[in-house]
């Protein structure tokens, strides 16, 4: 089941709104495509990210992939646990494997994203 408390981008990031902020992560579909994740490069706290622009990099054993921000904002926290335990993205991509938290600068951008049903349809995942 895809969590319904958040929105999804076609680039396979999710964002869970939380009182003017948004927690961002990579979907299980994307993580399963990538394989075992061994390294994550996250933006610095205080930096800004723009919707659909690259804000970091995730590396599996085999491949390097860009992370694309599902919304614009200022980074207020990153998941420090991923530095030593990037496998959290594999084991719990929708919760403990979160990437970063941003202060949304254009909350209306979220309307351009998919809901769980539409993202599920896109990826063939219920």
Partner 1 sequence: MTGAADLRRTPLDGVHRALGARMVPFAGFDMPVRYTSELEEHRSVRSGVGVFDLSHMGEVALSGADALAFARYALVSDPGTLEPGQAQYSMACTPDGGIIDDLIVYRTDPGYLVVCNASNREVVVANLQALAAARDHDVRIDDRSDATALIAPQGPRSAELVGALTDLDLSALGTYRSIRGQVAGIECLVARTGYTGEDGFELFCDATDAVTLWAAVMAAGERYAIQPCGLASRDTLRLEAGMPLYGNELGLDVNPFEANLGRVVKLDKGDFVGRAALAAVEAAGPSRRLVGLVMTDEGIARHGYPVMDPDRQADPEPAGAVTSGSVSPTLGTRIAMAFVPAASAEVGRTWEVMIRDRRCRAEQVKLPFYRRPRPPQ
Cβ-based nearer residue to partner 1, 18 or 36: 36
Three-class SS state of 55: strand
Q: Which is nearer to partner 1, 61 or 118 (CB)?
A: 61
| CB of 53 or CB of 117, closer to partner 1 | 53
Element (H, E) at 89: helix 88-91
* Closest distance to partner 1 from the beta carbon of 118 (Å): 24
Q: Provide the sign of the torsion angle of the four alpha carbons 122, 57, 65, 53, taken in this order.
A: positive
Minimum distance, C-beta of residue 35 to partner 1, in the bound complex (Å): 5
Q: Which residues bind partner 1 (CB under 8 A)?
A: 32-33, 35-36, 38-39, 41, 57, 59, 61-62, 64, 90
Q: Which two tokens stand for residue 21?
A: 């902020």
Tell me the CB-side half-sphere exposure of residue 39, using CA atoms within 13 A. Answer: 9
Strand partners, 15: 7, 24
Q: How far is the CB of 93 from partner 1 (least distance, A)?
A: 14
């Amino acid at each position: 089941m895809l969590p319904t408390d958040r929105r999804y981008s076609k680039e396979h990031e999710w964002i869970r709104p939380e009182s003017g902020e948004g927690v961002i992560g990579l979907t299980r579909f994307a993580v399963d495509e990538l394989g075992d994740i061994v390294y994550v490069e996250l933006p610095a706290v205080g930096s800004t990210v723009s919707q659909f622009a690259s804000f970091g990099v995730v590396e599996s054993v085999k491949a390097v992939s860009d992370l694309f921000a599902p919304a614009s904002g200022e980074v207020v926290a990153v998941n420090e646990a991923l530095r030593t335990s990037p496998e959290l993205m594999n084991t719990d991509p929708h919760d403990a494997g979160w990437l970063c938290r941003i202060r949304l600068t254009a909350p209306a951008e979220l309307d351009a994203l998919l809901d769980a049903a539409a993202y599920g349809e896109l990826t063939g995942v219920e």
